[in-house]
Amino acid sequence: MDGQVKESVTHIGQRNLDGIRLPIYLDNHATTAVDPRVLEEMLPYFHEKFGNAASCNHEFGWTAEKAVALARERIARLIGAKAAEIVFTSGATESDNLAIKGVAEKYRSKGNHIITAVTEHKAVLDSCKRLEKYGFRVTYLGVRRDGLIDLEELRRAIGGETILVSIMAANNEIGVLQPIVEIGKICRERGVIFHTDATQAVGKVPVNVHGQNVDLLSISGHKMYGPKGVGALYVRSGVPAVELSGLIDGGGHELGMRSGTLNVPGIVGLGKACAIAAEEMAGEAKRLAGLRERLREQIMGRLDGCSVNGSMEQEHRLPGNLNISFADVEGESLLMGLNDIAVSSGSACNSGSVESSYVLKALGVSEELAQSSLRFGIGRFNTEAEIDYAAGRVVETVKGLRELGSLGG
């Protein structure tokens, strides 16, 4: 048995007969490789420039502080914000928690109602569920078949007690881009704070917090070719400024919103990743959308019984995202058959049981189709040759499983 398992595993770095490096990584919504230019800029801050950015009495601290300030400016420039509006965190999960719980505690005297959507990331959904235990009321908006919320439903849901709306900019599974500008306008008209988890959007599509009427925005480094373990939260200043109660006490760092010694190497990396995105995003988005369409056409042109999940309209989908359901295929067998391609499935293993994606089910996708769905996350380092190979392997595997199913039936 052990020998059989070992034979079925494709080792990282192995090459096939065409010289393609296997396995192929097509899971860039889960995480991305650190761009070599980002790594190069980070390295000195691990050893040569290792100072604490809060140490204000010597050059080591000053050097670290300058590096953090530059990163703040780079991040702010990418999203159309001011440097002083950027609060560093350990990642988007912490940013989401700080935004939602920070608003809830700070504005509880004004109301106890929060609005979000059923397709949000767990960091948002679980934060809202925790607040429900403390007496907050949460409305979970449904989505249409294309994955978009109904703006009229949002308008109807806002009441006198509503203090926060949290709707993600881009969905991590189906790549759907919500109408952030319109959502922000509705919130501004009603005097409600608007938070968006923009983890999957920043660096991939244009984001402008002022043009899109955003009050709070979450960012993560490792989704945009930066390091893991670092993120940021945009907190709108001005009149009236958004105020947050901090979750982590202990030194008053980051204007009291997030205490703790700053992760200077990580922050430098996030800043560099944002600087690269600011320069290359438009060209990269066009290239990735082309690769995505190449993959979609090759798969769906050669297979029947396939359906794309989520809107395929250009303005409502991330350029590098493709989520497809395959009829008459068992999900686990499909993944096992594609052991030389790193993708995500439409199911997850929780407490020993396989559960279908709650995002796909919210779109009305059946349990069976949800479990036989694949999410392809195409990224900066993927090539046409890899896309062609992946498409061929998907077609080959699905056809093979369907033939086995028909024989077994």
Catalytic residues: 349
Half-sphere exposure of 233 (CA within 13 A, CB side): 28
Distance of alpha carbon 406 from alpha carbon 409, whole angstroms: 5
Which helix (H) or strand (E) is 324 found in, with range?
Answer: strand 321-326
Which run of H or of E encompasses 110? none
Q: Give the type of residue at 209.
A: V
Chain-centroid distance, C-alpha 46: 27
Residue 240: both structure tokens together: 């009236």
Question: Among candidates 85, 65, 66, which has minimal Cα distance to 75?
Answer: 85
Residue 139's φ and ψ, nearest 5 degrees, are -100, 125
Phi-psi region of 332 (alpha: psi -120 to 50; beta: other; left: phi over 0): alpha
- What residues are paired with 355 via a beta bridge? 348
Q: Between vectors from CA 206 to CA 171 and to CA 341, what angle results, nearest 5°?
A: 45
Describe the chain by its helix, strand, coil percentages, rounded to 5. 45, 20, 40
Query: Residue 183 and residue 341: Cα distance in Å, rounded?
Result: 37
Cα 100 off chain centre by: 17
88: alpha, beta or left, given left = phi > 0 and alpha = psi -120 to 50? beta
The Cα–Cα gap between 182 and 244 comes to: 24
Based on the number of CB atoms within 10 Å of its own CB, is 160 exposed (0-12), middle (13-18) or buried (19 or more)? exposed
Q: Are 326 and 373 in contact (CB under 8 A)?
A: yes
Instruction: Give the DSSP letter string of 83-96.
Output: GGGEEEESSHHHHH
Q: Is the dihedral of CA 378, 218, 314, 287 positive or negative?
A: negative
Two tokens, residue 20: 């393609």
Phi and psi torsions of 236, nearest 5°: -65, 130
Backbone angles phi, psi at 276, to 5 degrees: -65, -45
